[in-house]
Amino acid sequence: MGRNENTTENPQTLPTPTISEYRIGNTTYIVETHFCGDDSETIKAIISRMIAREIKNGDYSA
């Protein structure tokens, strides 16, 4: 399964992602994390919103 390289944004304006590799069992996950430096939302607000969404959707699995 390949990564989706299609984007409608200009790649020159995107910040460089942080790339992390996680191994769980026999599966390796490659995660790209993008943060926008001019975003007005704090990390605390983002995490709170994500937790609230998971609770609302009933997604309690780890």
Looking at residue 30, its pLDDT comes to: 94
pLDDT in tens, 25-56: 999 999 998 777 667 778 888 889 989 999 89
Pairwise pLDDT comparison (18 vs 7), residue with the higher score: 18
Q: How many domains does the chain divide into?
A: 1
Q: What is the pTM (predicted TM-score) of this model?
A: 0.38
Q: Are 33 and 20 in contact (CB under 8 A)?
A: yes
Give the integer Cα–Cα distance in Å for 42 and 8. 25
Q: At residue 6, does pLDDT exceed 60?
A: no
Q: Tell me, what's the pLDDT at 29? A: 94
Dihedral (CA of 9, 10, 15, 20) sign: positive
Tell whether 45 is covered by a domain.
yes
Cα(35)–Cα(14) distance, rounded to whole angstroms?
9
**Structural domain for 24, as ranges:** 16-57
Kindly state whether residue 11 falls inside one of the protein's structural domains: no
pLDDT band at 4 (very low <50, low <70, confident <90, very high): low
